[in-house]
Amino acid sequence: MTKSELCVHIEEALRTEEAANIVYMEHLTAIVTRSGLSPEKIKTARQICEYLIDWNNQHSMRLKQLLLKLNGESANDF
Amino acid sequence: MAVPGVQVLIIMNNNNKSSLKLRLTIIPVILLTMGIMTAVLYVIVRTILFITSDYPLIEKVLALALLLAEIFLLTHGIGYFSEILIVAIRRKSLSSVVNREQPPSSWPPIAVVVSSYKEPLEILEKTLTCFYNMTYPNKSIYFLDDTRYDLPGLDAAQMAKYRQDIDAMCRNLGANVFRRRWHDAKAGMINDFLSFLRGQVKEGFEFIPSGNTQYKGQEKYIAVFDADMNAFPNFAEPLVTMMESRPKLAFVQTPQYYTNFEHNRIARASGLLQVVFYEYICEGKDLRNAMFCCGTNVLFRIEALNDVGGFDESSVTEDFATSLKLHLGGWESAYNSKPSVFGMGPEDLGAYFKQQFRWALGTTGLLCNVVRKFLRNRKALPLAVWWEYLLSSSFYLIGIVYLIFQICPLLFLFFNMPSYLAAPKVYAAVFIPYIMLTLSLFFWSLGIRGYFFSDLVQGQLLMSISFPVYIKAAISGLFGVRGKFVVTTKGKTNTMSLRTVWVQIAFLVFNFAAISWGFNRLYYERELVAAIMINMFWCLYNFLFLTSIFYFMRRQE
């Protein structure tokens, strides 16, 4: 895979899974508190949402760092 | 606030569907009919008493104002219960309904648009990210940049930077950018964009094709969003399915749910106020083909918009005005109650008042228009649709009604007028059954959808302290003041000074004084005891409602 192809894939991953999931999870975290579930289930659901947000943020940061690193690379094949 | 779509999912997942789903039984219909009947009975008794009583002129005027205020409230109450009744009868259930129509064999192209006036980039980025991630196959995203870069007094460098950032963000998120020579805010922008899609290029247009342009000009539908509304991936498919199966359908509206309610009491209360509208009212309007567009989270048929000359640019609530045009043009409308768009509500009282002022000004401004059109051509729409439009366009007169309800007990306690109020036996015989039954029905019907009493009260508190805003807007609207489109502030909170809520504070003081004076009268006069106590009760009720202004004014980070 060429460097530009790899960059396109990383950018696409950032636009889809990482950024979008964070937005969805932020809303779901709030929505779940009003879902009518038991407090224990709400707590679990919120923890999962928060966990996913955290991981998506970390992925997003890593992908951005990777993009920066790739742009600084002279090699074209990966 | 509860979210019906989520509830439905949870109910289904728990395999506990039958426990919450209230099948149509004779009981809800009887209760609702009784609610409407007690309201009608109350109005009749009050009207007869007013006509037969012999008051001095000043008291006659005040008593008439109070009677009209009560009739207004009862009319809207009857309107609300009739919506629930129609949902109960036609759907045979009061629980939320999920549409299960078959999708079309192919998905026609749609334009997904957001019109933005100087909105913060971080808010826009989330919105465009959600557009990008919509699963609808044939979509083109358009960012309608309505920011006025040419206004004098702006920092040119800062504005140029903002423009560059917008372009870069749209490039990254696959959104085409559209700009035009500014006129008439959002309605004008969408109309100009529709002209552009038709190939009519006007002077001052700018188009940056930084997204999918494969379907440009072929789009059959246009999904319209506010800048802070985040659509979930499956937003478009169910709506296009509805549109494809009903060729006369001009638009499908979906609910607007705020999710910034957890840490913000204004967003929470305004969201809870909205659910009253987005639950039974919208569903009832849908069943009567009288649903009006709410400006965001809506899918329009472009042919229908073109047919009526585009969005109505004469009103600040162009969505409501355009809906009337569409209905008068023979088009239909629908509501899909499944929430698939989430956004941010106003986060401070100033932003909330601004939003409410605009809504109230726009809809009340259209009241005269609705009445005029009704009188000129009553047969243009079914009576049920006119009734819905009259209810919706007159709703914000509620501010004047609140004012009358505030003034009357004060006048009685301080000046012993209007003597019309001093009929405790009549109150006990017709008012108590009416108020108990209607309030119980209101909370019960929303309880079925998962809203608690304490939640709903917050929304009612916020509405009641907004009465000066509604009055100002209603008077302006009735006198034809057009007003300006003001964007609701998002993402930051500002504290309001006490001076800006002086009307509420003044009534707070008057009510407190009236209660104290009432005790004084009870102790020394020993007459009209029941009437004084009833009016003291209303002053206390108003006083407690008004104290919530301090709760809502408290700054929140």
| Digit-coded pLDDT (tens) for B352-385 | 999 999 999 989 989 999 999 999 999 999 999 9
**What residues of chain B lie within 8 A of the CB of A30, using their CB?**
259-262
Given this model, what pLDDT does residue B7 score? 36
Amino acid at B366: L
Residue A77 inside a domain? The answer is: no
Rounded to whole angstroms, how far apart are CA atoms B131 and B300?
16
> Between A and B, how many CB-CB pairs are < 8 A?
53
DSSP three-state, residue B319: helix
Give the pLDDT band of residue B18 (cuts 50, 70, 90).
Answer: very low
pLDDT greater than 80 at residue A21? yes
Question: Global pTM?
Answer: 0.85
**What residues of chain A lie within 8 A of the CB of B3, using their CB?**
31, 34-35
Residue B457: half-sphere exposure toward Cβ, Cα within 13 Å? 9
Q: How many domains does chain A have?
A: 1
Inter-chain contact A34–B3, Cβ cutoff 8 Å?
yes
Rounded to whole angstroms, how far apart are CA atoms B472 and B478?
10
Best to test chain A binding among B235, B257, B259 (most A CBs inside 10 Å) = B259
Find out whether A30 and B260 touch, Cβ atoms under 8 Å. Answer: yes
Given this model, what pLDDT does residue B492 score? 58
pLDDT greater than 60 at residue B491? no
pLDDT greater than 50 at residue B331? yes
Query: A30-34, B243-247, B386-390: which range is least confident on average?
Result: A30-34
Of B344, B222, B334, which Cα lies nearest the Cα of B274?
B344
Does B433 sit behind a cis peptide bond, omega within 30 degrees of 0 on the bond before it?
A: no
pLDDT greater than 70 at residue B155? yes
**What residues of chain A lie within 8 A of the CB of B129, using their CB?**
15, 19-20, 23
Residue A16 inside a domain? The answer is: yes
Considering only the beta carbons, identify the residue of A16, A19, A36 that sits closest to B10: A36
Amino acid at B498: L
Considering only the beta carbons, identify the residue of B3, B129, B232 that sits closest to A15: B129
Give span(s): CATH 3.90.550.10, chain B.
110-265+287-347
**What residues of chain B lie within 8 A of the CB of A24, using their CB?**
130, 230, 232
Residue A78 inside a domain? The answer is: no
Given this model, what pLDDT does residue B402 score? 95
How many Å lie between the alpha carbon of B275 and the closest alpha carbon of chain A? 13
Backbone angles phi, psi at B316, to 5 degrees: -75, -20
CATH second-level architecture of B110-265+287-347? Alpha-Beta Complex (3.90)
What's the CA angle centered on B491, arms B485 and B492, to 5 degrees?
A: 95
Inter-chain contact A15–B173, Cβ cutoff 8 Å?
yes
Angle between helical axes of B156-172 and B121-132 (0-180°, round to 10): 20
Does residue B129 or residue B25 have the better pLDDT? Answer: B129
Give the pLDDT band of residue B9 (cuts 50, 70, 90).
Answer: very low
Backbone angles phi, psi at B470, to 5 degrees: -65, -40
Considering only the beta carbons, identify the residue of A11, A23, A34 that sits closest to B1: A34
Given this model, what pLDDT does residue B485 score? 52
CA dist B258 to A68, B90, B262, B273, B445, Å?
A: 36, 29, 10, 11, 21
Does residue A10 or residue B449 have the better pLDDT? Answer: A10
Does residue B216 or residue B166 have the better pLDDT? Answer: B166
pLDDT greater than 90 at residue B272? no
pLDDT greater than 50 at residue A41? yes
Angle between helical axes of B502-524 and B467-478 (0-180°, round to 10): 120
State which residues form the domain around A38.
Answer: 3-72
Residue A13 inside a domain? The answer is: yes
CA dist B10 to A36, A44, A63, B244, B441, Å?
A: 8, 14, 34, 29, 25
User: What number is the average pLDDT over the span B496-500?
Assistant: 80
**What residues of chain B lie within 8 A of the CB of A19, using their CB?**
125, 129
Count, residues in chain A:
78
Rounded to whole angstroms, how far apart are CA atoms A12 and A7?
8
Of B237, B243, B262, B459, which Cα lies nearest the Cα of B342?
B262
Inter-chain contact A27–B342, Cβ cutoff 8 Å?
yes
- What's the complex ipTM? 0.80
